[in-house]
Structure 1
Amino acid sequence: MGRQHTIDRTNRRHEVDDEVSRQADGFGHVPVMLERAVELLGPAVTAVSPDGTGAVMVDATLGLGGHSEHFLRTFPGLRLIGLDRDPDALATARRRLEPYRERTTFVRTRYDGIADALVEAGLEPVESVHAILFDLGVSSMQLDEADRGFAYSVDAPLDMRMDPTSGITAADVLNTYSHGDLARVLSTYGEERFAGRIASEIVRTREHTPFTTSAPLVELLYRAIPAATRRTGGHPAKRTFQALRVEVNSELESLRSAVPAGLDALAVGGRVVFMSYQSLEDRVVKQELAPRARSRSPEGLPVELPGTGPEFRILTRGAERASEQEIDENPRSAPVRLRAAERIARRAS
């Protein structure tokens, strides 16, 4: 039995490896921690039926559809609801998932719109979903398209909007925010030690030359950040670009609403996986999960009071990281922090 389990696990890993290679060839996109996502979410799908018939999965960050494609192929009865605010990402995902169109619903929304998306798909916004995946942060497509302005390695317009049709741009932030607001954004969302110094340089520079593209900003950051820090702290633009992206897209505010909405949507036995790429995201996920995984009975009682037990069971020990092998094959998986949970009880009314 043990040997057969090992063989089955090995075969599944080879299937996932083949799938990753195929997806990378076809779309230039390698889904992060794909095998682990299947291990964690798969039992919630197969608990409904062996092939997933009757099960509903929400990919709250559809992106290019790499994770969703594999789940739809693995579970031929699974229904998928894919959410993304980026119209270009949705268009690509539609093409990719065309073979599964009868089982797939696409909704253009931020991930904090999950409840409304479920209603639009004809489902209840609570306890109607069996698996949810949040693959947070900027997508591969957004990073690779230079004119979106997410990458600091090329000179590009300072846009950084995940939905390029609405909202303020990174240039708007740089050119209009006060010194105090700029410092707050850089310190809070980028955890930048030199936020005040950088904000001062930005204000001085924009008085004669407003910011429009990324290269002048990168040059400014090289000037503002001390040489000793530049030698040991990674690329000097990394934290500032992260902070601007988070501010432009209201990422943390959206996530604080999205996590409880996702947890509420899960049926008993349903599971959720969160993949975070920065400590701020992971902190929000942890803060939202922790209280729901604890008993609310007063300490010292000999028995747990009815309706006060934990709603969720945490499936991971802390935040899991990608393996060295995966990081070698897909460097974008290096910063990922994965957490997962299973609903074990209905929410007390």
Structure 2
Amino acid sequence: MSSYHTPVLLNEVISGLNIKSNGIYVDGTVGGGGHSREIFKLLDKNGLLICNDIDIEAIEEAKREIPSSKNIIYINDNYKNLVSNLHNLNIEKVDGVLLDLGVSSHQIDDAARGFSYMIDAPLDMRMSKDTDITAYDVVNGYSYEELVEILFSYGEEKYSRFIAKQIIKSREINPIKTTTELADITKKAYQIKNNYGSGHPAKKTFQAIRIEVNKELEKLSECIVSLTRLLKRGGRICIISFHSLEDRIVKQTFVELEKSCICDKMSPICTCNKKSEIEILTKKPLTASAKEIENNSRSKSAKLRIAQKK
């Protein structure tokens, strides 16, 4: 197993995809290739695996992790562009799709990427080096109102206004350049409020800024709908999320796709012509076992939802 990134819920994903040996499968967020490697093992010479990731370092690691084969195609792009990229490859239907929406272990542990509040590093947080803005730009350039909005909406931070004030106050003296500086600001804000809670005080702030930098929630629901419609009948989509905002979007999108008629209940006949597109196979999300959490603490917050195309 590569130390680059440990795949979470690996057995659950492989089981959930219900892999056909001659099928076409898409890993929209290949990371270090852990999930893809196991998918590829189950494919025969007629199968095809598409490995996509916005991070070129992840693509390079996946190529080292997975045996070289003409039955694998690599794409370096945002998974939200998968449908158009697959169409360009003349792939109209697939048997399975996997999305792992979390930040990889490698990205967190690589100090230069600036994702972790536990490692001193320049404020960056970009999943792709081609991304236009960095965490530095957000922290030092956004207005008070903009900071409050992202901290509250993307971090669900109850002290969003107070932390935003502390950020503005600090950057008026000197620009906030490092992860440690930002973590210290949030820590002091919690100290003033006399409320640490159970987690690190910087966790929600870092999550919010990372989501803003990478536009992680933008068009996520539309993307899920598009990828679901790529599936052949009986094909499956597996989506792993790591925080409540993502999981809520996945859940709500699946529910809408599973609905049939959406006419008013008082209407005598159906006029909407809406058909149920999927069957949700996980009424409650699958989570990591105690053993997996013991071996990989980052799997603790992972939630897997699975749906099958009708």
Q: Which residue of 2 aligns with 1:223?
A: 188
Q: Secondary structure at the match of 1:101?
A: coil
Give the gaps of 5 or more residues in structure 1.
1-22, 47-51, 345-349
- Say if 2:5 and 2:104, in contact at 8 Å, map to a contact too: no
Counterparts of 1:130-149 in structure 2, within 5 Å, are 130-149=95-114
Aligned residue among 160, 170, 174 for 2:135: 170
Deviation at 1:306, TM superposition (A): 11
Change beyond 3 A, Cα 1:306–1:260: closer
The whole-number CA distance in structure 2 between the counterparts of 1:302 and 1:209 is 66
Q: Secondary structure at the match of 1:234?
A: coil
Q: Which residue of 1 aligns with 2:57?
A: 88
Deviation at 1:122, TM superposition (A): 2.4
Deviation at 1:224, TM superposition (A): 0.7
Deviation at 1:76, TM superposition (A): 2.9
The whole-number CA distance in structure 2 between the counterparts of 1:88 and 1:173 is 24
TM-score, with normalisation over the residues of structure 1?
0.84
Deviation at 1:29, TM superposition (A): 2.8
Q: Secondary structure at the match of 2:44?
A: coil
Q: Does 1:320 align with 2:286?
A: yes
Deviation at 1:233, TM superposition (A): 3.2
* Deviation sequence 1:169-228 (CA, Å, 0-9, x none): 000001110000001010000000100001001111111210111111111111111464
> Counterpart amino acid of 1:88?
E
* Deviation sequence 1:219-250 (CA, Å, 0-9, x none): 111111146421x2310010000000000000
Q: Does 1:258 align with 2:227?
A: no
Q: Which residue of 2 aligns with 1:338?
A: 304
- Say if 2:261 and 2:272, in contact at 8 Å, map to a contact too: no
> Counterpart amino acid of 2:53?
D
The whole-number CA distance in structure 1 between the counterparts of 2:215 and 2:303 is 20
Deviation at 1:28, TM superposition (A): 4.3
Q: Does 1:61 align with 2:29?
A: yes
- Say if 2:136 and 2:176, in contact at 8 Å, map to a contact too: yes
> Counterpart amino acid of 1:330?
N
Q: Does 1:123 align with 2:91?
A: yes
* RMSD, matched Cα: 1.9
Instruction: Report percent identity of matched pairs.
Output: 38
Structure 1 segments (4+ residues) deviating >3 Å: 297-309
- Say if 1:292 and 1:311, in contact at 8 Å, map to a contact too: yes
- Say if 1:275 and 1:338, in contact at 8 Å, map to a contact too: yes
Q: Which residue of 1 aligns with 2:17?
A: 41
Q: Does 1:30 align with 2:6?
A: yes
Deviation at 1:116, TM superposition (A): 1.4
The whole-number CA distance in structure 2 between the counterparts of 1:250 and 1:180 is 18
Q: Which residue of 1 aligns with 2:277?
A: 311
- Say if 2:94 and 2:235, in contact at 8 Å, map to a contact too: yes
The whole-number CA distance in structure 2 between the counterparts of 1:245 and 1:131 is 28
TM-score, with normalisation over the residues of structure 2?
0.94
The whole-number CA distance in structure 1 between the counterparts of 2:158 and 2:268 is 49
- Say if 1:105 and 1:121, in contact at 8 Å, map to a contact too: no
Deviation at 1:315, TM superposition (A): 0.4
Q: Which residue of 2 aligns with 1:4?
A: none
The whole-number CA distance in structure 2 between the counterparts of 1:207 and 1:177 is 13
The whole-number CA distance in structure 2 between the counterparts of 1:89 and 1:82 is 10
Give the gaps of 5 or more residues in structure 2.
none
Q: Does 1:179 align with 2:144?
A: yes
The whole-number CA distance in structure 1 between the counterparts of 2:109 and 2:69 is 26
* Deviation sequence 1:229-272 (CA, Å, 0-9, x none): 21x23100100000000000000004233211211111111100
Counterparts of 1:93-112 in structure 2, within 5 Å, are 93-97=62-66, 99-112=67-80
Greater fraction of residues in helix: 1
The whole-number CA distance in structure 1 between the counterparts of 2:211 and 2:289 is 27
The whole-number CA distance in structure 2 between the counterparts of 1:305 and 1:57 is 36
The whole-number CA distance in structure 2 between the counterparts of 1:75 and 1:307 is 38
> Counterpart amino acid of 2:38?
H
